[in-house]
Structure 1
């Protein structure tokens, strides 16, 4: 799990990167929760998603956004953090010019940043959003959302109530060609204290299903 430092828009950014042994492996970028509330790349859910992608043969990165850990700069209200995510993606694509697909996975604030990045980078082929803060941020920018993905909510989430996420899912599912795989974890609060394994399993199930479907479609062509 080598440590990497790469150029961000506001200074150097610190990350952890796993390079797959598979040729032209797909890429995954994992985004951490809010930096002003203790969010770092070592967050338990962020780490669980990172390890899931690693296990599935992806080249995967998690990183600290500006002002977190050894990453330079300071918190920028979300705007700069989206630029940081784009810089992380640029670095991975430079190292993996022939990658077979690209996934974005974010938790809480990281889910908001990830969905913003989704709208800016058409090469993204899938996404995972865990507890997206649908009651704190306007997700109206997802119009039209370029592809479907997996959304996870905690049934007992005190910071982002499940109905707020359900409303976002329902809105996305009305869009043409978009299907959101929505999963609610009973008893889970916002930190998913006892549900890291469940998040990892849901991610692996969703990603493997979508990739198998894509492989079948290619074979049919």
Structure 2
């Protein structure tokens, strides 16, 4: 059963849910979708992702961004949320010891995880329909610039440490953004046919894709 606790964060307490197999071989920290649109660590895509990563051997840490649930603070457009995720990572690594770090996120949380991946040493990055446009200078209505430095310096993300899962019917985050970001990095994009942004009735395919791809 997952354990719920709070830790100290940069804007106050951070609410965490953690679970682990008997002998974890990695630590996974997972970020949820946009807080202002109902995103929480109990989102079904997040819990599906958590289960797949735990079954792959990771001690998992879901958490609520600032202003959500028992986490203190106010929404900060991704800046403070990046700091929140790093605080959870520091706690998780201190609790688990020297295990490889897996990062993951869905939608807004995926974009935050990419930002975090520029600041910590990670072994694996799992992105589910990452919402890059939330942080793009061009705004929500324009395609992303895959060479924007805030989306990762050259060489940080490769086919060896990163992959994306995206639905081909996603009405919120265009799958073309994942292709655009992944192409120059040679990061694979797993497309779930018939899936929209929240993967209704397709969560089993998300779980299967993550289980097959993660390493």
- TM-score normalised to structure 2 length: 0.88
The answer (yes or no) to whether the contact 1:119–1:145 under 8 Å persists in 2 is no
Q: Does 1:150 align with 2:163?
A: yes
CA distance in 2, matches of 1:134, 1:82: 14
Q: Does 1:22 align with 2:23?
A: yes
What does residue 130 of structure 1 align with?
128
Within the candidate set 185, 198, 201, 1:194 is matched to 201
Structure 1 unaligned blocks of 5 or more:
174-179, 211-221
Structure 2 counterparts to residues 22-171 of structure 1, below 5 A: 22=23, 25-99=25-99, 101-121=100-120, 123-138=121-136, 140=148, 141=150, 142-148=152-158, 149-171=162-184
User: Over aligned residues, Cα RMSD in angstroms?
Assistant: 1.4
SS in 2 for 1:49: helix
Superposed CA deviations along residues 3-33 of structure 1, whole A, max 9, x for unmatched, are: 111111000011101133216x210011100
Structure 2 unaligned blocks of 5 or more:
137-145
Superposed CA deviations along residues 84-127 of structure 1, whole A, max 9, x for unmatched, are: 0000000001101221x111110000000001010100x20111
Q: CA deviation at 1:145?
A: 4.1
Range with greater deviation from structure 2 (10-19 or 78-87): 10-19
CA distance in 1, matches of 2:82, 2:133: 19
SS in 1 for 2:188: strand
The answer (yes or no) to whether the contact 1:31–1:41 under 8 Å persists in 2 is yes
What does residue 218 of structure 1 align with?
none
The answer (yes or no) to whether the contact 2:103–2:124 under 8 Å persists in 1 is yes
- TM-score normalised to structure 1 length: 0.86
CA distance in 1, matches of 2:98, 2:134: 37
What does residue 142 of structure 2 align with?
none
Q: Structure 1 residues 17 and 32, CA, compared in 2 at 3 Å: closer, same or farther? A: same
The answer (yes or no) to whether the contact 2:41–2:63 under 8 Å persists in 1 is yes
SS in 2 for 1:120: coil
Q: Does 1:11 align with 2:16?
A: no
